[in-house]
């Protein structure tokens, strides 16, 4: 007997290669890199091989529903606004 199970979650297909390539192409230039020190210009201009590897990695993450632990790390850079530098409300924290 072949049983079929239903879940409350919709079945959403993983991103296509074209979607990943288009997203990489839309990355903004001249932005600070993250902890990996990879700048968007490198991803955009490196060519087919790096984009294909990124797509494969995203596909695995999509299917396993597990992100690399390192991706949970952010670099916080407080930027002081006008006013008292000791007042925490006078800071923003872009990541």
Q: Is 95 a residue whose pLDDT tops 60?
A: no
**Residue 13: both structure tokens together:** 């297909």
pLDDT band for 28, please (50, 70, 90 cuts): very high
**Dist. CA 65–CA 6, nearest whole Å:** 18
- 31-40 pLDDT, tens digit per residue, is 988 778 899 9
- 44-93 pLDDT, tens digit per residue, is 998 899 999 999 999 999 999 899 888 887 777 777 777 777 777 777 76
CA nearest neighbour of 19 among 49, 51, 63: 51
Which pTM was predicted? 0.66
**Dist. CA 67–CA 12, nearest whole Å:** 17
């Amino acid at each position: 007997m072949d049983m079929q199970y239903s879940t409350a979650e919709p079945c959403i297909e993983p991103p296509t290669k074209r979607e990943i390539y288009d997203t990489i192409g839309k990355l903004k230039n001249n932005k600070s890199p993250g902890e990996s020190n990879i700048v968007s210009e490198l991803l955009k201009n490196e060519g087919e091989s790096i984009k294909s590897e990124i797509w494969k990695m995203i596909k695995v993450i999509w299917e396993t529903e597990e992100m690399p632990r390192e991706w949970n790390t952010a670099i916080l850079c407080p930027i002081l606004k006008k006013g008292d530098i000791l007042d925490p409300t006078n800071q923003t924290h872009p990541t």
